[in-house]
């Protein structure tokens, strides 16, 4: 039923289009470079950081390579990850419109709502690929440069390596969920234009503005409504027991953004004249 109504073969085709594109692999490679550069810099620098100096966890990387992924994620969340993701999110509809393939998809006929859903799921797939790439590259490079062993969590508890790997996967999932609101915003902006770069820039600006607002104490009433508000809270996964209340709020917030911008995208796209 699902396969017939949504079109499993359309979904697979969407992933194929995305992952046969060299740009997608270039971006995943760039994401993988973050932990690699980070670990290399830490490895080569003579001075050891005092605990608490630099970004969170950075001082722990030398003690345990498994921290590389977490640290790299903290560095990538504010800008680099949103940057690559905005490329994909902005490209969804605008990219097809720019190429002209949108009109051929629509007369196939793909169904406008169905295309939106598949495009959105495609951006989530890319985000998953990106966050897992970062965590896996971090684990590998960390294991090459530094000792690997049981991890001492923020709460002082110690977890074994398999448990640590499981938590790394959870971090990748958490950050993917954190991006879902922005992906919905990107989908909507993408229905407004036929120029993908314009849509990408729009998404990136929105994420920048949201993060700035989140840093203004005068606007504290607004903070919990900003889609970037919980972006760095994945650190809660490194507590024992796991602190999941922020995840719950984050999930609700992201679902709210999906509902709002999903509805806008649907309203806009299903009534739009396709003139490209």
Positions in the binding site for other proteins (CB under 8 A)? 4-5, 7, 9-10, 12-13, 16-17, 20-22, 99-101, 103-111, 114-115, 271, 273-275
Longest dimension (CA), the chain: 63
Closer to other proteins at the Cβ: 47 or 273? 273
Closer to other proteins at the Cβ: 24 or 86? 24
Shortest Å, Cβ 87 to other proteins: 15
Closer to other proteins at the Cβ: 125 or 161? 125
Shortest Å, Cβ 7 to other proteins: 5
The CA distance from 243 to 237, in Å, is 6
Contacts (Cβ under 8 Å, ≥6 apart) of 153: 159, 238, 239, 240
Contact call for residues 119 and 14 (beta carbons, < 8 A) = yes
Q: Report angle CA 245, 257, 12 to the nearest 5 degrees.
A: 100
Closer to other proteins at the Cβ: 10 or 164? 10
Shortest Å, Cβ 112 to other proteins: 9
Shortest Å, Cβ 224 to other proteins: 40
Shortest Å, Cβ 122 to other proteins: 13
Torsion of CA 187, 190, 191, 192, to 10 degrees: 130
Q: Report angle CA 151, 152, 155 to the nearest 5 degrees.
A: 140
Closer to other proteins at the Cβ: 21 or 239? 21
């Amino acid at each position: 039923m699902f396969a017939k109504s949504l079109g499993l073969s359309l979904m697979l085709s969407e992933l194929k289009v995305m992952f046969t594109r060299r740009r997608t692999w270039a971006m995943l490679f760039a994401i993988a470079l973050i932990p690699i550069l980070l670990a290399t810099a830490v490895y080569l620098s003579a001075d050891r950081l005092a605990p608490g100096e630099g970004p969170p966890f950075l001082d722990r990387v030398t003690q345990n390579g498994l921290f590389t992924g977490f640290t790299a994620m903290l560095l990538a969340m504010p800008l680099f990850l949103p940057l690559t993701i905005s490329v994909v999110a902005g490209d969804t509809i605008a990219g097809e419109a720019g190429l002209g393939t949108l009109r051929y998809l629509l007369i196939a006929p793909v169904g406008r709502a169905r295309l939106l859903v598949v495009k959105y799921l495609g951006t989530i797939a890319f985000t998953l690929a990106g966050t897992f790439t970062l965590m896996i590259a971090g684990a590998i490079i960390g294991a090459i440069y530094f000792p690997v062993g049981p991890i001492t969590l923020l709460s002082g508890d110690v977890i074994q390596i398999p448990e640590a790997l499981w938590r790394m996967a959870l971090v990748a999932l958490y950050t993917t969920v954190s991006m879902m609101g922005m992906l919905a915003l990107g989908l909507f902006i993408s229905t407004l234009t036929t120029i993908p770069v314009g849509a990408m820039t729009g998404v990136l600006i929105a994420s920048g503005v949201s993060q700035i607002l989140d840093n203004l104490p005068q606007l504290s009433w607004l903070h919990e409504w900003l889609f970037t508000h919980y972006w760095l809270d994945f650190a809660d996964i490194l507590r024992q027991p796991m602190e999941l209340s922020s995840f719950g709020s984050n999930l609700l917030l992201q679902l709210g953004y999906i509902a709002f911008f999903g509805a806008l995208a649907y309203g806009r796209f299903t009534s739009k004249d396709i003139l490209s």
